[in-house]
Amino acid sequence: MSDKRTNLSVTNILLVTTVILSVILLWQLRSLIVVLMISVVIAATLAPSVNLVHKLGVPRWLAVLLVYLGLIGALTGFGLIVGPTVAQQIERLIGKLPLYLETLRSLLENLAMRFGISEPGTPSIISQFLDIQGLASWAIRSSQQLVVRSYGVTRGIIGSVFSLFLALLLSAYMLSGSKQLLGDIFNLFPYPWNQKLADQIQPVGKRMGGYIQGRILVSAILGTVISISLRFLGMSELALGLGVIAGFTNLIPFFGPILGAIPALIVAIAQGGLTFVWVILLFAIVQNLETYLLDPLLVGSSVKVPPLYQLLAVLGGAQVLGIIGALIVPPWVAGGGVLLENLYIKPKLLAEEHQLHSKYIDSDRVKTI
């Protein structure tokens, strides 16, 4: 009895020690783990294109190379054509941001005096709570941080470039040698779990890739629509830059459209007249278009994750990994949903149905006897 207790205690101590050391190791390798997560998302997104080229008789390694060269070429061409104008407009927007905020403060002060919230000649409540310089500095600083770094993943521009290059390299390796790589991993599991996990590769990859493909397509459509609409509304000086900002932030579910609308609304307030009303109406139409048409058609049909879980994934990812987490955690939740559905929920329902069917058969036999 004492030997059994001793063995049990030693086993528990070894188990706890292994878990603690594993957690410490994972924490030390957290940056690499995030890069691996990004690599898997990129690989799942580009897998349909690679498979399409591979079906044409092109060797898989060459298909991966052609797809990556085509992607890099398309992004480079888009950057050369649109990039300079977008950079100029965003720089102009940042330079005029204090003026726009000052106009907003004056408008709010006039409204406060009109409704009797403050009196002429007295310190304005709006001025006390709306620090123009502080707010402008905070907005610029936050924007720069969102662009060049994300907590725990990169350290400045050099770290961002290196992490992106490493993620692309790893994703290319995953696409070119995925069967051998995944086969070696699944062979570590006992039968029949090795075969069950191997059968989930395609549905998990399709779910994860479908999410990113849908979000990119929706964001591109909305960014284009917003840019063109703002130009017609008399904001051509900043229309392209504001449209790119709205399209980029729209990649983040739930909160992205709101963040993307704020710069355009601030500029519209500064222009005065009915521009602000038209811009609000524009973003309301765009938001409804995304919610009731584009998202269900291009994203929701492939993700099949309840909105609450998507919201929690965005919040949790943003809390831990910043903007990168808000982008990559939702597709991982979608992929995890496939595993949960195929490996637990469906077998559980089949087992319950079989058990219920057996009870009916047994009851019928008793009645017959």
pLDDT of residue 226: 92
d(CA 172, CA 53): 14
Q: Is the pTM of this model over 0.85?
A: no
pLDDT of residue 133: 53
- Of 291, 300, 292, 294, nearest to 211 by C-alpha is 300
Task: Flag whether pLDDT at 147 surpasses 50.
Answer: no
Q: How much of the chain, in percent, has pLDDT values that exceed 90? A: 2
Flag the least confident range among 152-156, 181-185, 304-308. Answer: 152-156
What is residue 189's DSSP assignment? S
In this structure, the chain runs to a length of 369
Tokens of 292: 């009731």
- Of 51, 328, 317, nearest to 208 by C-alpha is 328
Per-residue pLDDT tens over the stretch 159-214: 567 777 788 888 888 888 766 666 667 777 777 777 777 777 778 888 888 888 88
d(CA 109, CA 62): 63
pLDDT of residue 139: 53
Per-residue pLDDT tens over the stretch 73-113: 988 888 888 888 888 888 888 877 777 777 777 776 666 66
Residue type, 346: K
Per-residue pLDDT tens over the stretch 121-136: 444 545 544 554 555 5
- Find out whether the peptide bond into 330 is cis, omega within 30 degrees of 0: no
Per-residue pLDDT tens over the stretch 107-116: 766 666 666 5
Full DSSP string of 88-149: HHHHHHHHHHHHHHHHHHHHHHHHHHHTTSS-TTS--HHHHH--HHHHHHHHHHHHHHHHH-
d(CA 280, CA 287): 10
Span 45-58, average pLDDT: 87
d(CA 127, CA 134): 12
| Greatest mean pLDDT among 142-156, 232-246, 266-280 | 232-246
- Residue 264's CB: how many other CB atoms inside 10 A? 28
pLDDT of residue 116: 57
- Of 303, 330, 337, 338, nearest to 200 by C-alpha is 338
To the nearest 5 percent, what fractions of the chain are helix, strand and coil?
Answer: 85, 0, 15
Task: Flag whether pLDDT at 149 surpasses 50.
Answer: no
Span 352-364, average pLDDT: 70
